[in-house]
Amino acid sequence: MLTGHHLIAGRETTTRHSPFQAVNPAANQLMEPHFSEATAAEADEALRAADGAFDALRTAPVETRAAFLETLAEEILTLGDALLERAHAETALPMARLTGERGRAVNQCKMFAQLIREGSWAEAAIDRALPDRQPLPKPDVRRVLQPIGPVVVFGASNFPFAIGVVGTDSVCALAAGCPVVVKAHPAHPGTCEMLSRAVLTALQKNGLPQGCFSMLHGRGHEIGTELVRHPLTQAVAFTGSLRGGRALMDVAAARPHPIPVYAEMGSVNPVFVLPGALKERAAKMAEAYIGSVTMGVGQFCTNPAMVLGVKSPELGEFVKTAGELAAKVAPQTMLHRGICETYEAGTAVWHTVSGIKLAGQSAAAPDHDATQAACRIFHTRLDVLQANEELQREVFGPCSIVAESDDMESILDFARGLEGQLTAAIHGTPDDLREHAALIRILERKAGRIIFNGFGTGIEPCPSMHHGGPYPAASHSFFTSIGTGSIYRFVRPVCYQGFPDDCLPEALQNANPRGIMRLLDGSLSRDPAV
C-alpha cells in the first residue's frame, strides 16, 4: 500500500505541506495517494541520519555491502507486477520497456556487487619504505580511494528504475560506502516510494543502518535547493534539463564549502552521414534513424536531434525516406504534460524559422488529452542551422533536423563550433572514416561517446561505457553516470604515510587479504607487500 509519506532512515513522515498527486498522462487522471512537499527540517533530518550512518556503512565488510546490493536486486523483483503497473500508470512507458528497464536496474545492483568484491577499482597503491636510501630515507606511503559521505540523488523522469531511486547514481554511491538521500521525481512518486521501501528492506536484511537511505518527495524547487546547500551533503547526482542542472550547480558553488554536482543534462547528439554510407544504404539509414528518433517517444538524452551531410541525390533520398517513415509513426503518450507542452512549444518555434521546412510528420493528429506527441522531421540548409541558435537547442521528444551543406569543409567548421555533446555518430564506410579523419579528431573534443554506424539511443551499462561529455552535456566531462566508472564520482584519494600495518585500510595492508590488484612499488601486482 502506498502512503505518500517521506521515508527518512526507515521512519515514515509527512507534514501534508503543499499536497500533490501523480497524474496518469495517458488518461489525464489524478492518482492516489496524495504526496507532499518535504520541509527543510525533514531534509536536515535525512542528512543528519545519513551522516550518522556513514561510518557504519563505509567500515562494513565489503561482503556485507555486496550482499546488500544483491538483496536489493531481489527486493526489486519481489515487488513484481505491482511495480511495473504503477510505473506504467505514472509514466505511460510500455510494460515491455519497463520490464527491460527493471532488468537493467537489477543487473546494475549485481554489477556493482561484483565490482566491490573484486576490489581493484579502489586503486590501492603502495610505495614501501626505503630507510637506507641516501641522501634521505624514503617513507612508507600508501593511497586508496575512500567514500566521501552523504550523496543527494535527483533521478530522471524517463528512466524510473535505471536512473532513479535504485538507478546507477544511488547504487554506485551505496557500493562505494556513501549514504544516499533521494529527491523523488514528482512525475512518478508512487514508483519512487515502492523502490525506496525495497532499499530499506535490503538494508535491514543485511544489518546496515536505515540511515544509509532516505527519500523525500517534492514538486517544487525548494526541497532540492535545501538538500544541495545542506552542509552535510558531499556530492550531488542529477539527470535532467540544462536549466535544472545548472541551477543546482549554482547552489552548490555558492555554498561556503562548494561541492561537486555531477549533472547529466542532455544534448542534440549530432549525426554525420558521409558519402560512402549514403551511396550504399541511404534508405536503410533513414529507417534506423526514424527508429532512434521515435524510440521511447524521443524521450532520451541521446536522441539524434540533428543530422548533417553534404548535399547529394543520396542525401535527398535519405530525407525523403525519413519523411515518409515519420508519417507512419503513430503519436504516442509522453511522460507527463510538462514535457509534452515543452515539445510542442519547441517544434512550434522551428516552424517559424525562415528556410526550414517539414520533411514529414505523423499522419495522425496527436490526442492532447492523452499527452501525445507526433513525430516531426525537419529539413534545412546548414547555413540556416548555423544562423539560428533556436534550431541548435535540444527539444526533448520525437523530432529531428536534417541539415545539408554544399561541402564537407562547412560541416567540419560547424562541428568545431558545437557545444559539448553526450554522443556523436558517424555513418560511413571504413574508407569514409579514413578520408574524413579530421571529423573524428574534432568530435573527440566535443563528445563523450562517438558511435560508428549507429545511434546514441541504447546504452550498455558496462565498465567501458562513458555517459557524459563536455559542458553543457554534463557538468564534468571526466566522469560517467552509467557503468562501473560512475563510482569514481563519490570517492576521493586518501594517502597514509608511516602507518602500522594493522591500522591501515584492508586494501593497503601488507598481506593483501582480499587479493586485489594493487600498484606495488610502481608495478601492478596481487602479491603481498612483504
Among residues 314, 298, 272, which one has the least CA distance to residue 415?
A: 272
Residues 433, 214: Cα–Cα separation, whole Å: 49
pLDDT greater than 90 at residue 129? yes
pLDDT greater than 90 at residue 389? yes
Return the pLDDT at 30: 98
| 272 beta partners | 308, 426
Return the pLDDT at 15: 79
Lowest-pLDDT choice from 14-18, 30-34, 251-255, 329-333: 14-18
Residues 224, 217: Cα–Cα separation, whole Å: 10
| 379 beta partners | 357, 402
Residues 488, 158: Cα–Cα separation, whole Å: 24
Residues 421, 473: Cα–Cα separation, whole Å: 5
Q: Which one is the CATH code of 271-452: 3.40.50.720, 3.40.309.10, 3.90.1280.20, 3.40.50.1000?
A: 3.40.309.10
Share of the chain above pLDDT 90, in %: 98
Mean pLDDT along residues 172-176: 98
Return the pLDDT at 407: 97
Residues 497, 62: Cα–Cα separation, whole Å: 24
Mean pLDDT along residues 367-376: 97
Look at the block and give the residue holding cell 517534492.
218
Among residues 96, 230, 238, which one has the least CA distance to residue 156?
A: 238
Look at the block and give the residue holding cell 497524474.
23
Return the pLDDT at 255: 98
Q: Give ranges for CATH 3.40.605.10 in the chain.
A: 6-265+480-489
Return the pLDDT at 382: 98
Return the pLDDT at 519: 98
The secondary structure element, H or E, covering residue 322 is helix 313-327
Structure confidence at residue 234 as a pLDDT band (50, 70, 90): very high
pLDDT greater than 90 at residue 96? yes
Residues 427, 452: Cα–Cα separation, whole Å: 6
For residue 33, is the peptide bond before it cis, meaning its omega torsion is within 30 degrees of 0? yes
Look at the block and give the residue holding cell 542551422.
385
270-293 pLDDT per residue, tens: 999 999 999 999 999 999 999 999
Q: Percent helix, strand and coil across the chain, each rounded to 5?
A: 45, 20, 35
Share of the chain above pLDDT 70, in %: 100
pLDDT greater than 90 at residue 266? no
Mean pLDDT of all residues in the chain?
A: 97
Cell (9 digits) for 223 = 526541497
Query: How many other CB atoms are found less than 10 A from the CB of residue 305?
Result: 23
354-366 pLDDT per residue, tens: 999 999 999 999 9
pLDDT greater than 90 at residue 14? no
Return the pLDDT at 16: 79
> What's the pTM?
0.96
CB-based contact 160:90 (threshold 8 Å):
yes
pLDDT greater than 90 at residue 480? yes
Q: Give ranges for CATH 3.40.309.10 in the chain.
A: 271-452
pLDDT greater than 90 at residue 530? no
Look at the block and give the residue holding cell 535545501.
226
pLDDT greater than 90 at residue 1? no
Residues 151, 172: Cα–Cα separation, whole Å: 11
SS3 state at 365: coil
Among residues 152, 155, 336, which one has the least CA distance to residue 239?
A: 155
404-463 pLDDT per residue, tens: 999 999 999 999 999 999 999 999 999 999 999 999 999 999 999 999 999 999 999 999
Task: Estimate to the nearest angstrom the gap between the alpha carbon of 301 and the chain centroid.
Answer: 9
Catalytic residue numbers? 264, 301
pLDDT greater than 90 at residue 136? yes
pLDDT greater than 90 at residue 17? no
Residues 525, 90: Cα–Cα separation, whole Å: 50
CB-based contact 128:211 (threshold 8 Å):
no
Mean pLDDT along residues 205-224: 97
Q: Where are the beta strands (DSSP E) in 291-441?
A: 306-310, 332-333, 356-361, 372-373, 376-381, 399-405, 421-427
Task: Estimate to the nearest angstrom the gap between the alpha carbon of 379 and the chain centroid.
Answer: 30
Residues 411, 385: Cα–Cα separation, whole Å: 11
Cell (9 digits) for 176 = 562505494
- Find the radius of gyration of the CA atoms of the chain: 25
Residues 185, 251: Cα–Cα separation, whole Å: 19
Mean pLDDT along residues 153-177: 97
Among residues 346, 269, 270, which one has the least CA distance to residue 307?
A: 270
Identity of residue 305? A
Phi, psi for residue 351 in degrees, rounded to 5: -60, -25
Q: Quickly name the fold that domain 6-265+480-489 has.
A: Aldehyde Dehydrogenase; Chain A, domain 1 (3.40.605)
Among residues 306, 297, 395, which one has the least CA distance to residue 346?
A: 395
